Structure 1
Amino acid sequence: MELLRPRLLAVSEELGESELASLKFLSQEYVPLRKLEAIQNAQDLFEALREKGMIEAGNLSFLKELLYRISRIDLLVAHLGSSREEMERELKIPGRARVSAYRYLLFQLSEDVTKDELNYFKFLLGKELPKCRQNPETITMMLDIFIGMEKKGILGEDNLSILKRLCAEINISLLKKIEEYELNLIGKTNSPDIQPSIYFPAALRRVFSKLHFAVAEHRDLTAEGMRKTVDTYRCEDHKDKDCFVCCILSHGKKGSVYGVDGQEVPIQELTTSFTGHNCCSLAGKPKVFFIQACQGESFQKGVPIETDSVEQDSSVETDARLQFDCIPAEADFLLGMATLQDYVSYRSRREGTWYIQALCQHLEYSCPRGEDILTILTAVNQEVSKKSCSQNAQKQMPQPSFTLRKKLIFPVN
């Protein structure tokens, strides 16, 4: 660490205020926004990234990427021993970029906005962002606008419609950049889902942050990396926590998911790590797993049904109150699978995976209304089941399974 500090200090001393703001914006997916807002100098930012494991003595790839993104090639060369050409080659390798395509898009847009256009954005967003109307002089960068929009939930990786409408009115070239990003996104996705999702974790992160979860993201894990990550959380003390949620976005086959190295990990191995025997501090608490991955290569076909039938209420209630001195070790689990065993799962090339998008939308809509998770997942099943892949009208049916002993409701307030 002693050898690293002088290099970080040398870099930080040559960064200006606007460049620091840019670095903070590009680091949002790794450092909580509240902590970023309190950071006043680059040294503190680098320390925060070091605490998150994003800057290490033997691995400065993220710092190199940040400097490359903000076009400080001089610092890249002088202090980190890299170059523009090296970074261009490195970032072309799938999975190497740590700044998401979405966040880099917003940064590029901010660089192209003129002062007059910034004022126009502030004017048009006066209602949604009261700060723009009350204290417009405090907003000096387009990045401030983007941060405000994200806080209000009117901008996100899967929520660009308002930004596109504003750009269409203010500067059509900005809109074209967003459309190019969306077209590029289409080119990097496939249907069915055959590669790890790198564009839509933001939707999950946004939703579960609103539900008061402490969110941590782990990208591009090998099979062994998955096991180590799961073991880390298994060994943590969760006594002050109410619930554990694990979302895995990858590809897979029946009963397994794949790491980026192509090696498989049985889903049961991941879930049983958190049984009452293996993780005592989560005993009696809900353990929720959402798995977005193919579970085979078969395709589901649609069948016609009567559309005017009345759905029967299958809920069963009892007035017996059972008291438990102990519970089964496998109790209180919920496993939400994107698809049935043996079948593929699908991704909309424009909107993302059918399952994750429906899950996030229904969590965001229904949790504030006090609906329990099984009711929400039933609605997710309904929505996904209505979708069709245009090729041969192929379908997808998610599959939740559970050993929950009580209703699970995620409070918003």
Structure 2
Amino acid sequence: MDFREILCKISEEIDREELTALKFLCLDHIPMRKQELINDTLKFFEILEEKVLLKKNNLFFLKELLYYICRIDLLTNLNTNITELEHQIRTKAQVSSYRVLLFNLSQEVAKFELKSFKFILRNKIPKCKLEDNMTLIDIFIEMEKRGILGEENLGTLKEVCDVIDKTLVKKIEDYESSRVERSIERVPVEIQYVEEMMTEQATTGDFPGEKVQDKAYKMNSRPRGYCLIINNNDFQRAREEKPEYKKLNDRKGTDVDAEALKNTFKELHFEIVTLQDRTAKQIHQDLQIFQNKNHKERDCFVCCILSHGDKGTIYGTDGQEVAIRDLTSYFSSSNCVSLAGKPKVFFIQACQGRTMQGGLTLYTDSEQERESLEVDTLLQNECIPDEADFLLGMATVENYLSYRHVTDGTWYIQSLCKNLKEGCPRGLDILDILTKVNAEVSQKIDSKNKGKQMPQPKYTLRKKLSFPIN
């Protein structure tokens, strides 16, 4: 059958309860605000296509979702080998294990237990928010909104489950244990090239003959790797197409940041590629292009994204959200084999929420700067894959604003470039450099609103990462 006919046939078989489950499993890919527009399965498929999660020649994500909701009959109709699919899910799942855990828990709580679940939560969630017709999935979403449930915040859920059904607690603890294991082990990639590459890295050290498998990443290729800079400035399309985004201003000053990044990483021997004003779909396509490049002769990959953002996401110039985790996941070992075992570095200049950070005033900015500061936000989620060799440098901690000067650029990117230029020639490790960036940015203050900013690096690096100039 034709691709569209297949989707239509599947949509006819999916009931409302199953659609709710599919939407919940996709919450890390499709934000709640976007999900509110989904009222039938075909609309759901349409948004999956927009997010480049569903394509004519790649039905893996759809198959993974159908597997989780136990629609094996539909998988059979898609000529799916279940054993092969299970192996693919184990090695390159796109739905987070956290979402799968919550969905599975929702399937095991009986209706009479659901009432007890709601009753126990009344000291944390107002009664008016715990309506009689709420499902457990609805309750999980409400808990996440209130910050009492998350991938690393399962305490409240375990307390409730301990009263309802202790077997549920065991499932949560098993998930926590497996998550720790995943965070400390590399994803095995059974490809000869990767094995050869890892052997080469293990015997290449700072001194002749020294084995430094756990000391430093090899960093002597020329060019060292690609440095992709996505610079979003013009958000007119978003304002025109989405009235609710009328405050999504153009990002004055971002070109200063883009130029600083270009000059800095050029000095560090990277091949620079700068892309201007990209929609959400284009951003996905851009990352897919670099995912499919051959990085065999390169030591590293760097991606810098300058845009508006919200919690766990950045915005395309069309106002569509792009989950940061989706972008980083393109470069996992299973998705980009030629970067397996090599550092993947992402720097994200965007707000991660709407809250302004407070703090003691350490000094007063000039009146000109006070009038020229803007924030990179309009108005959920680990952002890096659960495997080794990733570094994610965020301009601000989750839920908070980040600042951009309309002529001087952003606090974060300007400090990052300055410290890279100063620290790399001295052989400083990237984490030492980012610590200096944290110290510098945290000292700044928006005098007008008393707002402050604290950057946040997240990483699963296994070795020292530095960019020597020579």
What TM-score does the superposition give when structure 1 sets the normalisation length?
A: 0.55
Q: CA deviation at 1:273?
A: 11
Equivalent position of 2:103 in the other structure: 107
Q: Tell whether the 8 Å contact from 1:110 to 1:143 is kept in structure 2 after alignment.
A: yes
Q: How does 1:3-402 map to 2 (within 5 A)?
A: 3-78=2-77, 80-93=78-91, 96-130=92-126, 135-136=131-132, 138-139=133-134, 141-190=135-184, 227=228, 230-231=229-230, 233=232, 240-241=248-249, 263-264=298-299, 270=304, 315=363, 331-335=409-413, 342-343=428-429, 372-374=451-453, 376-377=454-455
1:196-253 residue CA offsets vs partner (Å, 9 max, x unmatched): xxxxxxxxxxxxxxxxxxxxxxxxxxx76x73xx44747876994365799xxxxxxx
Alpha-carbon distance change, 124 to 334 in structure 1, aligned in 2, over 3 angstroms: same
Q: CA deviation at 1:51?
A: 1.9
- Count of residues in correspondence between the two structures: 289
1:45-87 residue CA offsets vs partner (Å, 9 max, x unmatched): 1112122221111211111110011111110110x22132121
Alpha-carbon distance between aligned partners in 1 of 2:367 and 2:13, rounded to the nearest angstrom: 69
1:323-377 residue CA offsets vs partner (Å, 9 max, x unmatched): 99xx99863352377997643759xxxxxxx99xx99xx9xxx99xx65344x35
Paired AA for residue 165 in structure 1: E
Alpha-carbon distance between aligned partners in 2 of 1:265 and 1:50, rounded to the nearest angstrom: 30
Q: CA deviation at 1:188?
A: 1.2
Alpha-carbon distance change, 35 to 235 in structure 1, aligned in 2, over 3 angstroms: closer
- Listed as ranges, the gaps of 5+ residues in structure 1 are 196-222, 247-253, 275-281, 283-288, 297-311, 347-353, 385-394, 396-413
Q: SS at 1:59's partner residue?
A: coil
Q: CA deviation at 1:315?
A: 3.4
Alpha-carbon distance between aligned partners in 1 of 2:269 and 2:167, rounded to the nearest angstrom: 46
Q: Tell whether the 8 Å contact from 2:8 to 2:42 is kept in structure 1 after alignment.
A: yes
Q: Please report the RMSD computed on the Cα atoms of aligned residues, expressed in angstroms.
A: 5.1
What TM-score does the superposition give when structure 2 sets the normalisation length?
A: 0.49
Q: CA deviation at 1:146?
A: 0.7
Alpha-carbon distance change, 328 to 169 in structure 1, aligned in 2, over 3 angstroms: closer
Q: CA deviation at 1:37?
A: 3.2
Alpha-carbon distance between aligned partners in 2 of 1:232 and 1:319, rounded to the nearest angstrom: 28
Q: SS at 2:412's partner residue?
A: strand
Paired AA for residue 106 in structure 1: L
- For structure 1, which segment, 230-239 or 19-28, has the greater mean C-alpha deviation from structure 2 after superposition? 230-239
Q: Tell whether the 8 Å contact from 1:149 to 1:155 is kept in structure 2 after alignment.
A: yes
Paired AA for residue 120 in structure 2: L
Alpha-carbon distance change, 270 to 135 in structure 1, aligned in 2, over 3 angstroms: closer
Q: CA deviation at 1:126?
A: 2.6
1:112-162 residue CA offsets vs partner (Å, 9 max, x unmatched): 1122221111111234333567631x21x2111111111222212222121
Q: SS at 2:80's partner residue?
A: coil
Alpha-carbon distance change, 146 to 320 in structure 1, aligned in 2, over 3 angstroms: closer
- Structure with the larger RCO, 1 or 2 (CA within 8 Å, 6+ apart): 2
Alpha-carbon distance change, 181 to 322 in structure 1, aligned in 2, over 3 angstroms: closer
Alpha-carbon distance between aligned partners in 1 of 2:81 and 2:117, rounded to the nearest angstrom: 36
Alpha-carbon distance between aligned partners in 1 of 2:150 and 2:70, rounded to the nearest angstrom: 25
Q: Tell whether the 8 Å contact from 2:300 to 2:344 is kept in structure 1 after alignment.
A: no
Alpha-carbon distance between aligned partners in 2 of 1:175 and 1:323, rounded to the nearest angstrom: 52
Q: SS at 2:122's partner residue?
A: coil
Q: Tell whether the 8 Å contact from 1:73 to 1:83 is kept in structure 2 after alignment.
A: no
Alpha-carbon distance between aligned partners in 2 of 1:271 and 1:255, rounded to the nearest angstrom: 19
Alpha-carbon distance change, 132 to 98 in structure 1, aligned in 2, over 3 angstroms: farther
Q: CA deviation at 1:39?
A: 2.4
Alpha-carbon distance between aligned partners in 1 of 2:233 and 2:299, rounded to the nearest angstrom: 20
Equivalent position of 1:403 in the other structure: none
Q: Tell whether the 8 Å contact from 1:256 to 1:295 is kept in structure 2 after alignment.
A: no
Paired AA for residue 92 in structure 1: R
Equivalent position of 2:217 in the other structure: none
Equivalent position of 2:213 in the other structure: none
Q: Tell whether the 8 Å contact from 2:149 to 2:156 is kept in structure 1 after alignment.
A: yes
Alpha-carbon distance between aligned partners in 2 of 1:99 and 1:272, rounded to the nearest angstrom: 26
Q: CA deviation at 1:32?
A: 2.5
